[in-house]
Structure 1
Amino acid sequence: MALTKKGEFWYGTTSGDIQAELRSYSIANRHEAVRFATSKCDCGCRHFALQTDEEAGVAIRTCTDCGQEHLMGDSAEHLEEAMPETHECVCENEVFELVSGVSVHEGTHDVRWCYIACRCVECSLVGVFADWKCEAGDAAAFLAKV
């Protein structure tokens, strides 16, 4: 793991770097992420296009190999009111490695806040691209669907 800062952005080389940036961001947000999961398609690919609507609490990842769309976490429950927008890196690339993290309510395993962090596969920029308050129940079940 080697997060390095270039200008105003952080860059990394591994999913561990993504998780480190997510954790740092979540601490600054006062809802520290304590559970994490890396996205992986059924086909084995780990690179995705990402669409989110933070207001609705919806995230959709699309596999760059097989094209399968996957509603992340509890997004299926909120899709009707969502207007997801595609994420783009500062280098204009739209393909990312994704790590999701959640904070939980004290003394429980219930999700309190959701974060989605990305690493651009072109320039290696690392950052949290979406986060929202989330009352999704059990953290393990939620993260199993990212």
Structure 2
Amino acid sequence: MAIDITGEWWRGDASDDIADYLEELAPGGYPVHAVTPSRCKDCSGKVFRIELDAGGVCARRTCVACDLLAYMLDSNEYWMDGDEGEGPEKIACPCGSERFECTAGFSFRDGDAEVRWVSIGIRCVEDGILGCCADWQIRYGPGSRHLLDLA
């Protein structure tokens, strides 16, 4: 797998490139210590439409194959609906596509295995553009390691 950084946007040719992108990006200024690719729990699909909440710090994904909606990481606990008329923000690639492979990145606190920062890395399935659509700090622990299973 190789990431192409020669154009305006970084592009990957496979879903594994999302992890490399997140490691290079270091969302929140922290190194990415672990990654978990997203998979649909019903059909094992790997392509999703992604939405962010009104605060822009929670994410949910809908499987393109079976339409199962799943909140990512701890988003189900903190999702903000927004004011009247303002719904979730749909993530779209510069090419216009709304279909992505995604991977959750995790940074651990120094000296222990508790999660400090999470990020949602994406790769457009149409043109391979890589991005990070959301990242946020985890302010609780112990007990934050369960997030690795909620990508």
* 1:103 pairs with 2:107: yes
Structure 1 runs of 4+ aligned residues shifted over 4 Å read 80-83
Runs (5+) with no aligned partner, structure 1 = none
1: CA distance, partners of 2:111 / 2:54: 26
Q: Counterpart of 1:142? A: 147
How many Å apart are 1:136 and its aligned residue? 5.0
What is the CA RMSD across the aligned residues, in angstroms? 1.9
**Residue aligned with 1:142, SS:** helix
The residue number in structure 2 matching 1:34 is: 33
- CA drift of 1:15 comes to 2.0
Q: Which has the higher strand share?
A: 1
Deviations 1:23-56 (A, max 9, x none): 11117x4211101100000201100001123846
TM-superposed CA distance for 1:2, in Å, is 0.9
Aligned-pair identity in percent equals 33
Higher deviation after alignment, 46-55 or 10-19: 46-55
**Structure 1 residue matching 2:16: 3-state secondary structure:** helix
Counterpart Cα distance in 2 of 1:108 and 1:136: 13
Give the equivalent residue in structure 2 for 1:72: 72
Q: How many residues align?
A: 145
**Which residue number in structure 2 is paired with residue 119 of structure 1?**
123
* Structure number, greater radius of gyration: 2
| Residues 55-90 of structure 1, C-alpha deviations (whole Å, 9 max, x = no match) | 463110000011000011111110246653110000
Scaled by the length of structure 1, the TM-score of the pair is 0.90
- 2:136 is aligned, of 127, 132, 140, to 132
Shift in CA distance, 136/20, structure 1 to aligned 2, threshold 3 Å: farther
Question: Matches of residues 8-27 of structure 1 in structure 2 within 5 Å?
Answer: 8-26=8-26
Distance across 1 between alignment mates of 2:8 and 2:64: 28
SS of residue matched to 2:18: helix
CA distance in 2, matches of 1:80, 1:55: 6
5+ unaligned residues in a row in structure 2: which ranges? none
